[in-house]
Amino acid sequence: MPLNQLLTIDEVAQTLKITRQTLSKLINNKDIVAIKINKSYRIPSEALENFFKRNSSKQDLSHTYLKETRGCTLTYPDKDAEEEILNTAANAALKQVVNAHNELYNAVYFGDNLEVTRALLPELKGKVDLIYIDPPFATGRDFNSIDQNHAYSDKLLNGEFLEFIRKRLIILRELLSDKGSIYLHIDKKIGHYVKIIMDEVFGFDNFINDITRIKCNPKNFARNAYGNYSDMILFYAKQRDQNIWNDVKDDFTNKKRDELFAKTHPVHGQYTTHPLHAPGVTLDGDTGKEWNGMLPPPGRHWRYSREELTRLNESGFIEWSDKGNPRKIVLAKEHKGIKIQDVWEFKDKGLSFVDYPTQKNHDLLKRIILNSSNPGSLVLDCFAGSGSTLYIANELVRKWVGIDNSPASLAVIKANFAKNDIKCNFFE
Ligand SMILES: C[S@@+](CC[C@H](N)C(=O)[O-])C[C@H]1O[C@@H](n2cnc3c(N)ncnc32)[C@H](O)[C@@H]1O
């Protein structure tokens, strides 16, 4: 680029992969020099070069700025530039108050999670394999225990709430390892806005699932509306297809097993049969040819090579109907379980059965941790509440870090860990 060239706002915004709005913030903050010519601004190419030089040592510019998702961004007042969020240092140092071991993990930090995650960034950047967060949901309410003791307030609303979440997500993204994932639990009133924010922060390509979580029993109410008995969990990878994925399956219930494997084989027990052919025509390959005196039905091909079909037949794994149709025998005992879909039923217990309001179902956390982390992985929950994520991560032999700024949360975590003999360092 010639050094004395004058660039338009659009050209610079495109080069930096930021919106015009973010660029004007950078100009206002004097991060980048612009010259006003008539009524519009121009940026000298030298100023852009200088800006690159100043920033490229700090961050990878390709993801430093507000990303567009599907050609648009969510706008609201006081949305800060990503660069500003990333380059703001923590306001205070962390102070250890309980020392149970000498590692950075298996620790609970009492304080605002933006400050704490910023303070942890130098040590934990790129090291966290799994983040589960269950932040406040912008309900405008206070949450109390069954005895009416205050647990936490959820008073940030609308754009203020979204910016609160976005700032934390940007730092959390930096903490995630390349094989890391994040699950964000949210309700359906604000969740769709949060989805757009997550697309901006993590990239739409890294979106994996919007899981519907059935949270309670259908309710009777007078509103002219369908019942609201689910919330949502947004699941993203730091880098799609590199994320840990253990493909844990659901066990069959006996009822489901009887339904799916209704027949009984004299040697192999419960079984069902599957067709030996599938839609689509093989023009020249083996799976379109005659086997055992028959061709696949019109418009279909054999699922297996003819050699494999013969092997299955000779070993007794093909069942022939009275009309001479062959089907493959599939045994219940060899089935790996049911593939988990994106509607999960994990109801929360009532207030009188939990230690903390909005405490999440432990089996839900178990599924997430088993699927998206490995033994020894570091798991982070920076809206820790009762410490349920940390508790289950510990049970599943993962390392863990929790953060919360509620004294009630800290008290519940301390009591539970002491009761279960869980060694934890505490910081403020
Ligand atoms: C919905 S609760 C989490 C419940 C938790 N998942 C459980 O199973 O017990 C949200 C938690 O976020 C905490 N919180 C809210 N804002 C915070 C902040 N800025 N920093 C740290 N914790 C925060 C609250 O104190 C509260 O404990």
pLDDT in tens, 284-331: 889 999 999 999 999 999 999 999 999 999 999 999 999 999 999 999
- Ligand 1 site, residue 83, Cβ cutoff 6 A: no
- Ligand 1 site, residue 165, Cβ cutoff 6 A: no
Structure tokens at 290: 């005659």
Confidence class for position 409, pLDDT limits 50, 70, 90: very high
Q: Which residues contact 41 (CB under 8 A, 6 or more apart)?
A: 9, 27, 34, 35
- Whole-angstrom distance between the N-terminal and C-terminal Cα of the chain? 50
Among 4-8, 55-59, 204-208, 379-383, the least confident range = 55-59
Cα 404 to averaged position of ligand 1 atoms, centre (Å): 6
Cα 359 to averaged position of ligand 1 atoms, centre (Å): 10
CA distances from residue 351 to 33, 348, 354, 357 in whole angstroms, order as listed: 56, 9, 6, 6
- Ligand 1 site, residue 406, Cβ cutoff 6 A: yes
- CB-side exposure of 58: number of CA atoms within 13 Å? 16
Sheet holding 326-331, edge to edge: 263-265, 269-275, 326-331, 318-320
Residue 59 is predicted with a pLDDT of 47
- Ligand 1 site, residue 69, Cβ cutoff 6 A: no
Mean pLDDT of the chain, nearest integer: 91
Residue 58 is predicted with a pLDDT of 46
Return the best residue to mutate from 94, 131, 152, 361 for the ligand 1 pocket (most ligand atoms within 8 A of CB). Answer: 152
Among 73-82, 236-245, 308-317, 359-368, the least confident range = 73-82
Q: With 50 as the cut, is the pLDDT of residue 17 above it? A: yes
Q: What is the mean pLDDT of residues 330-358?
A: 92
Give all domains of the chain, ordered by start, each with its CATH number: 1-57 (3.90.105), 96-208+234-246+355-427 (3.40.50.150), 254-334 (no CATH)
Q: What is the mean pLDDT of residues 400-412?
A: 97
Helical packing angle, 158-175 and 113-124, nearest 10°: 20
Q: With 70 as the cut, is the pLDDT of residue 240 above it? A: yes
CA distances from residue 308 to 219, 283, 299, 321 in whole angstroms, order as listed: 54, 19, 21, 20
Residue 351 is predicted with a pLDDT of 86
Contact assessment for residue 349 and residue 359, using Cβ atoms and an 8 Å cutoff: yes
CA distances from residue 50 to 4, 18, 83, 143, 343 in whole angstroms, order as listed: 13, 17, 16, 49, 50
- Ligand 1 site, residue 372, Cβ cutoff 6 A: no
CA distances from residue 49 to 29, 36, 64, 169, 236 in whole angstroms, order as listed: 17, 19, 16, 29, 34
Q: Which residues contact 148 (CB under 8 A, 6 or more apart)?
A: none
Cα 384 to averaged position of ligand 1 atoms, centre (Å): 5
pTM of the model: 0.79
Give per-residue pLDDT as tens, 80-139: 989 889 989 898 889 999 999 999 899 999 999 999 999 999 999 999 999 999 999 999
Q: With 50 as the cut, is the pLDDT of residue 354 above it? A: yes
Indicate the DSSP class of residue 297: P
Q: What is the mean pLDDT of residues 264-283?
A: 93
Residue 134 is predicted with a pLDDT of 98
Q: What is the mean pLDDT of residues 374-402?
A: 98
* Spatial distance between the Cα atoms of 24 and 30, rounded to a whole number of angstroms: 10
Q: With 60 as the cut, is the pLDDT of residue 361 above it? A: yes
Question: What is the separation of C-alpha 165 from the centre of its chain, rounded to a whole number of angstroms?
Answer: 14
* Spatial distance between the Cα atoms of 183 and 73, rounded to a whole number of angstroms: 21
The amino acid occupying position 123 is: E
Q: With 90 as the cut, is the pLDDT of residue 273 above it? A: yes
Residue 260 is predicted with a pLDDT of 93
Among candidate residues 364, 405, 412, 401, the one with its CA nearest the CA of residue 164: 405
Confidence class for position 63, pLDDT limits 50, 70, 90: very low
Confidence class for position 219, pLDDT limits 50, 70, 90: confident
- Ligand 1 site, residue 359, Cβ cutoff 6 A: yes
- Ligand 1 site, residue 356, Cβ cutoff 6 A: yes
The amino acid occupying position 291 is: W
- Ligand 1 site, residue 332, Cβ cutoff 6 A: no
Q: How many CB atoms lie within 10 A of CB 8?
A: 12
Q: With 50 as the cut, is the pLDDT of residue 415 above it? A: yes
Atom of ligand 1 at shortest distance to CA of 112?
A: 20
Q: What is the β-pairing status of strands 128-133 and 378-381?
A: parallel
Residue 13, φ and ψ in degrees, nearest 5: -60, -40
Indicate the DSSP class of residue 292: T
Residue 40 is predicted with a pLDDT of 82
Return the best residue to mutate from 382, 406, 410 for the ligand 1 pocket (most ligand atoms within 8 A of CB). Answer: 406
